[in-house]
């Protein structure tokens, strides 16, 4: 067996994020090389970031040695998958478990992309400064080097859960709604930034009570021109009266003005009109990357859609998935209906599984995504936008100025879920957890250490960090306040999803 192992850098599709992450990826690469050499292997590097699918085809496909993708920032799934699907040489995704750049997010997304395409791979991570000093990491790395795979325990994974008669009855009622009239996802474009694992299409959606209708994002620009100034005036007055704090101007945000917010509200109203026209139930909004140079970020509009308190509201949320991720919008819509049927507030949040750390003897995740988090977590008052702060999206990534929909999520019990594609079938992961209130010093350190402009949720997912890192098949997660765990298990069964329960039963 060869003693050589190829290291490659899966990259973002944009030069700036790759350039910013270069010092981190160089450091992680040196650590991985030292670890491999200590185990008696000979690492070598594939030159440069793989920042286009053709880079993966041209640089990874010819490699027959075992391969390790070094994961320290966000990168696109196809920048790995296109060069490895159809081959069986051992493949490992390795992350430095840091919150500075979303490397864990990239690893989890690309892992899910590989799984959706049936390409075997393994994953490994460490938060050690010196990787060779992390005994668990080195043991796992040696296992992969010698066997081509890493086996992680499944003690916290089950494939069924008990459901009460009341929960089953409530779920049956919601299932009937979806059988009588399929939920229509209005898709503004396709999934973004290489998240091929988040797109299912009508062939997979229809058997489970969902379908889609795609609209080109160019319609947002065309329809936006027809939005009257009077509607924009009313929408801006509404969000200001209901409590949004706008951080217009200031250092690094000089171009973030009232006009930028009005343009975000223009897009919100244009999309609202399309939802009404097509009688859509929920929404997938691509935005990135196609609209980046043309329109302000979609985050403020997405946050409004996931709130009952919004301009021209019909009293409901419109479950919205940023990046047009069907793997999130499906459980969001299901959970929304269950919450309403159970008499709980219907808002369901969309987040990245970004990073995390220890707090009072348990592991707490930082759930943090630029868009699609509604207002309810910040006040627990469905009739207000209090607690929402809108900061300029970082100009390095978002050249056209526009604001976020941010705040600190309040503590409380929650249910979480995620839909994904595995072995040609749709699966649903389901769990219980708790949103945690962190001390201000720790909260600010974690928030500043990730992306301060984005909505923040500190969450115990009710399962160990290592189970999530080893087995979870997405970078995204749907989160709802309240216990609808049994109802979500029952509804997923009723609609024909394979189910997987992630829980620490110890």
pLDDT of residue 194: 87
Per-residue tokens: 147:
């066997």
Confidence label for 190 from pLDDT (cuts 50, 70 and 90): confident
pLDDT of residue 131: 98
Confidence label for 20 from pLDDT (cuts 50, 70 and 90): very high
Confidence label for 506 from pLDDT (cuts 50, 70 and 90): low
As a whole number, mean pLDDT of residues 269-291 equals 96
**Coil vs helix vs strand at 182:** coil
What is the DSSP secondary structure assignment for residue 9, as one 8-state letter? E
As a whole number, mean pLDDT of residues 313-337 equals 97
Strand ranges, E, within 371-411 = 389-390
pLDDT of residue 191: 84
Summary mean pLDDT of the chain: 96
Angle 119-333-487 from CA coordinates, rounded to 5° = 90
Per-residue tokens: 479:
């989160």
Lowest mean pLDDT, pick from 227-231, 368-372, 387-391, 394-398: 368-372
Tell me the pLDDT tens digit for each residue of 119-130. Answer: 999 999 999 999
What is the C-alpha end-to-end distance of the chain, expressed in Å? 41
What's the per-residue H, E or C state across 200-264?
A: CHHHHHHHHCEEEEEECCHHHHHHHCCCCHHHHHHHHHHHHHCCCEECCCCCCCCCCCHHHHHHH
In the block, residue with structure tokens 């299409």? 201
Cα 323 to its chain centre, rounded Å, is 9
pLDDT exceeds cutoff 90 at 327: yes
Confidence label for 44 from pLDDT (cuts 50, 70 and 90): very high
pLDDT of residue 2: 63
Tell me the pLDDT tens digit for each residue of 139-184. Answer: 999 999 999 999 999 999 999 999 999 999 999 999 999 999 999 9
Helix H or strand E segment including 502: strand 498-502
pTM (predicted TM-score): 0.97
- Share above pLDDT 90 across residues of the chain, in percent, rounded to a whole number: 94
- What domains sit in the chain, N to C, each tagged with a CATH number? 4-147 (3.40.50.1070), 165-502 (3.40.275.10)
Helix H or strand E segment including 277: helix 258-278
């Amino acid at each position: 067996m060869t003693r050589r192992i190829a290291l490659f850098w899966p990259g973002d599709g944009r030069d700036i994020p790759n350039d910013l992450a270069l010092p981190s990826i160089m450091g992680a690469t040196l650590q991985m090389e030292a670890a491999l050499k200590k185990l008696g292997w000979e690492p070598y590097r594939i030159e440069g970031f793989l920042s286009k699918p053709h880079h993966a085809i041209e640089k990874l496909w010819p490699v027959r040695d075992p391969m390790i993708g070094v994961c320290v920032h966000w990168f696109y799934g196809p920048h790995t998958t296109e060069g490895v699907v159809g081959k069986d040489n051992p493949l490992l995704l390795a992350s430095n478990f840091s919150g500075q750049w979303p490397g864990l997010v990239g690893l989890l997304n690309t892992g899910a992309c590989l799984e959706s395409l049936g390409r075997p791979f393994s994953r490994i991570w460490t938060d050690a400064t010196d990787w060779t000093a992390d005994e668990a990491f080195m043991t796992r790395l040696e296992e992969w080097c010698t066997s081509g795979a890493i086996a992680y325990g499944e003690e916290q994974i089950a494939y069924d859960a008990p459901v009460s008669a009341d929960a089953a009855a409530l779920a049956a009622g919601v299932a009937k709604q979806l059988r009588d009239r399929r939920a229509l996802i209005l898709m503004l474009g396709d999934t973004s930034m290489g998240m091929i694992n988040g797109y299912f299409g009508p062939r997979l959606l229809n058997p489970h009570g969902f379908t889609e209708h795609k609209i080109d994002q160019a319609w947002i620009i065309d329809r936006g021109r027809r939005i009257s100034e009077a509607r924009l005036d009313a929408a801006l007055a509404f969000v200001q009266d209901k409590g949004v704090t706008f951080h217009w101007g200031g250092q690094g945000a000089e171009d973030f003005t009232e006009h930028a917010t009005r343009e975000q509200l223009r897009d919100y109203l244009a999309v609202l009109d399309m939802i009404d026209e097509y009688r859509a139930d929920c929404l997938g909004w691509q935005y990135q990357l196609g609209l980046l140079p043309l329109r302000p970020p979609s985050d403020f509009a997405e946050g409004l859609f996931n709130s009952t308190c919004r301009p021209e509201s019909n009293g409901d949320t419109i479950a919205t998935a940023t990046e047009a991720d069907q793997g999130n919008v499906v459980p969001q819509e299901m959970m929304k209906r269950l919450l309403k049927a159970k008499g709980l507030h219907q808002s369901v949040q969309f987040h990245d599984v970004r990073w995390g750390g220890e707090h009072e003897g348990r592991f707490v995740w930082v759930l943090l995504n630029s868009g699609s988090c509604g207002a309810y977590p910040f006040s627990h008052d469905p009739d207000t936008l209090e607690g929402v702060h809108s900061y300029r999206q970082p100009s390095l990534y978002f050249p056209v100025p526009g604001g976020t929909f941010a705040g600190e999520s309040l503590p409380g019990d929650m249910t979480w879920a995620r839909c994904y594609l595995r072995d040609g079938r749709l699966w649903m992961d389901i769990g219980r957890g708790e949103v945690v209130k962190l001390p201000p010093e720790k909260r600010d350190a974690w928030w500043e250490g990730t992306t301060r402009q984005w909505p923040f949720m500190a969450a115990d997912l009710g399962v160990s960090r290592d189970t999530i890192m080893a087995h979870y098949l997405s970078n995204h997660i749907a989160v709802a306040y309240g216990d609808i765990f049994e109802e979500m298990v029952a509804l997923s069964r009723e609609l024909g999803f394979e189910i997987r329960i992630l829980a620490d039963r110890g």
